[in-house]
Amino acid sequence: MSSIFTKIINREIPSDIVFENESIIVIKDIFPKAKIHLLIIPKKEIATINDLQETDKELLFDMFSIAKKLAQDLQITEGYQLHFNVGPKGWQEVMHIHLHLMSDL
């Protein structure tokens, strides 16, 4: 079964998309926990950080590079938070990895 983020990627459900390339999509979090709250999501369905493989190295680098670029574009390089929740007991609700980018600047 595809994740809610795959449904967003496939335009089966709407979302506020702020960036997209061939391997990554960035959306606004529907329930923002900061002034800026974006989710950087690989199009490849990887359930949790525990499922990462050596071959995902470039994808992870690209996710962080996009986070850095967005922070520059949004003029929040002075302070922002990047985090992954990992597993249901690590506050992960959607089992499709995503990097939270948050800032109150």
Query: Residue 86: left if φ>0, alpha if ψ -120 to 50, beta else—which one?
Result: beta
CB 7 within 8 Å of CB 26: no
Indicate the residue among 6 and 85 with the shorter CB distance to ligand AMP.
85
> How many Å is the maximal CA-CA distance in the chain?
40
User: What string marks each residue from 15 to 54 as x (binds ligand AMP by CB under 6 A) or -?
Assistant: x-----------x-xxx-------x---------------
Residues that bind ligand AMP (CB under 6 A): 4, 15, 27, 29-31, 39, 85, 91-94
Which residues are annotated as catalytic? 98
